[in-house]
Amino acid sequence: MPRRVAAPAPTPLPGAARAHARGIRLVAASARRGRPQGLPDVAARGHRTPHRKGYRMSLGGASLTASAPRHPHARHAPRHLRPNRTEHRMSQSHTAISSDGTSIAYDREGTGPVVVLIGGAMQFRAFDPVTRQLASVLADRGYSVINYDRRGRGESHDAPSMTLDDSIADLRAIVTELERTGELGDGVALFGNSSGGSIALAAAAAGLPVTALVLFEVPLGDELGADGAEFVAGLRERIAGDDPDAVVEYYMKDMPPAWLAGAKASPSWPIMVRIGPSLEPDAESLAWSQSAPRRELWGHVIAPTLVLTGDETLDLMTTAAKSIESTLPNAEHRTIPAANHSWEPHIMATTIADFLHERAGI
Closest CA to 23 of 53, 48, 49: 53
Residue whose C-alpha is closest to residue 56's, from 225, 240, 272, 214 = 272
| 65 residue type, one letter | T
CA distance 154 to 158: 9
Pick from 64, 51, 66, 65: nearest CA to 21: 51
CB atoms within 10 A of CB 273: 17
Note the pTM of the prediction, 2 decimals.
0.80
Domains observed in the chain: 17-82+225-275 (no CATH), 92-223+283-358 (3.40.50.1820)
The tens-digit pLDDT sequence of the chain (362 residues) is 444 333 333 323 333 444 555 655 443 332 222 322 222 222 222 233 333 333 333 333 333 433 333 333 333 333 333 333 333 445 778 999 999 999 999 999 999 999 999 999 989 999 899 999 999 999 999 999 999 999 999 999 999 999 999 999 999 999 999 999 999 999 999 999 999 999 999 999 999 999 999 999 999 999 999 999 999 999 999 999 999 999 999 999 988 888 889 999 999 999 999 999 999 999 999 999 999 999 999 999 999 999 999 999 999 999 999 999 999 999 999 999 999 899 999 999 999 999 999 999 99
Instruction: Determine the 3-state secondary structure of 182 from DSSP.
Output: coil
